[in-house]
Structure 1
Amino acid sequence: MSSSLPLYAILLRAIGPVTHKLMRMEQWRAASSTAGFVAPETLVNTGNMLAGFDGDATAARNAMEPVLRGFGLGENVAVIVRTPAQLRKLLKADPIAEAAAQRPSQTGVYFFAAAKPDFGWISDHDGPELIHVVADHLVVDFSQDVAQSGRLIRKIDKLCGLNTSRNWNTTRKLAERASQREKE
């Protein structure tokens, strides 16, 4: 990847089996390339892309939104963009080292669209989940099946705003691949 062209992790919210009927990953890569994204690569699970883009993160998000709408995907399919450095910072902080090592699929990282989400409510959280703030992201040790934490997930959506989450393994794999691409 050219050092003059920024690399971004593009994370989609609300992607799943229903949206697969409208947009397959190979279609997303092709349309992204046409929209100016360089060497788009989808990774790990649906809704994760690494791509170069000539512009800042906001410009990358703004350029990706019409790509998604072109497939007929609604406004609920949102774009959240992070730099490889932001992903590495999350991993380096590793506030839940034991959980990340023992239960990575039950350890979630929440990425927010807002630059400064409101985390004021966290000190009052009384659930079994452990919550950590790392650079305007939430890292949550669910310590159980994530599906049993519906109350917390609804609270995060309501109080912190538009977001998408990835488990620790996915976040790690995205950061590692982004670092490899930056070296290429």
Structure 2
Amino acid sequence: MADRAPTFIILLRAIGPVTHKLMSMAQWRDAAEQAGFSAPETMVNTGNMIAQFGGTAEAARKAMLPVLRGFGLGENIAPIVRKPAQLRALLGADPISDAAQARPSETGVYFFAAKTPDFDWIKDHDGPEAIHVVADHLVVDFTQDVAKSGKLIRKIDKFCGLNTARNWNTTRKLAERASAREKE
């Protein structure tokens, strides 16, 4: 449908059991709809939303901020917005094909708030994790339990700024559902 508002994927940073006490996914959907997002739907319970919004990705991000603050969520809870095409391109690059199939919970995609995060530090990374840059995102094969990669995660936070991560399967499911919505 040519005149329908664009579809966006909204990924919240720092969502978990503590924040669920302040904002359930159902409450988030209702508040997003009142803020101008069309047919918001959430996937899993970790701050993933797909919705249409009449504007740019930056306008969607700005419109989502007061929704989150309305629940009393602090500045550390931040929306990172992507278009379905961005996730499709990321998945199409498929830099971790074997890892994503063998160890999907040990693969991750980092989404950044900054348009051009600083990735210069990666050349000095000496951990067991394999890191790939795909269109201003990091795709990481942790090669082990993610909890054992605290050093890498701290480096990503320090050098790349505000971010959120999703495993490969969640990223794929979000891209598939958002793409299907674009066709509806």
TM-score range (shorter-chain normalised) is over 0.9
Query: Displacement, 1:97?
Result: 0.3
Change (3 A) 1:182 1:3: farther
Change (3 A) 1:2 1:24: farther
Runs of at least 5 residues in structure 1 that lack an aligned partner in the other structure: none
Find the counterpart in structure 2 of residue 154 from structure 1.
Answer: 154
Separation in structure 1 between the aligned mates of residue 24 and residue 132 of structure 2, nearest angstrom? 34
Matched letter for residue 4 of structure 2? S
Query: Displacement, 1:3?
Result: 5.1
Task: Let me know the Cα RMSD of the aligned residues.
Answer: 0.9
Q: Does 2:167 match 1:167?
A: yes
Matched letter for residue 16 of structure 1? G
Find the counterpart in structure 1 of residue 33 from structure 2.
Answer: 33
Q: How does 1:1-184 map to 2 (within 5 A)?
A: 4-184=4-184
- Tell me the TM-score normalized by structure 2: 0.98
Query: Displacement, 1:46?
Result: 1.8
Counting aligned pairs with the same residue, the percent is: 77
Tell me the secondary structure at the aligned position of residue 10 of structure 2: strand
Query: Displacement, 1:45?
Result: 3.4
Matched letter for residue 131 of structure 1? I
CA offsets 1:92-149 (integer angstroms, 9 cap, x no match): 0000100011111100100000000000010110000000000000000001000000
Matched letter for residue 81 of structure 1? V
Separation in structure 2 between the aligned mates of residue 34 and residue 44 of structure 1, nearest angstrom? 21
Runs of 4+ in 1 over 4 A off after TM superposition: none
CA offsets 1:27-66 (integer angstroms, 9 cap, x no match): 0000000000000000123200000000000000000000
Number of paired residues? 184
Change (3 A) 1:31 1:130: same
Aligned residues of 2:106 and 2:144 also touching (Cα < 8 A): yes
- Tell me the TM-score normalized by structure 1: 0.98
Separation in structure 2 between the aligned mates of residue 26 and residue 5 of structure 1, nearest angstrom? 22
Separation in structure 2 between the aligned mates of residue 31 and residue 2 of structure 1, nearest angstrom? 26
Separation in structure 2 between the aligned mates of residue 76 and residue 21 of structure 1, nearest angstrom? 16
Separation in structure 1 between the aligned mates of residue 117 and residue 45 of structure 2, nearest angstrom? 25
Separation in structure 2 between the aligned mates of residue 2 and residue 8 of structure 1, nearest angstrom? 16
Separation in structure 2 between the aligned mates of residue 143 and residue 13 of structure 1, nearest angstrom? 23
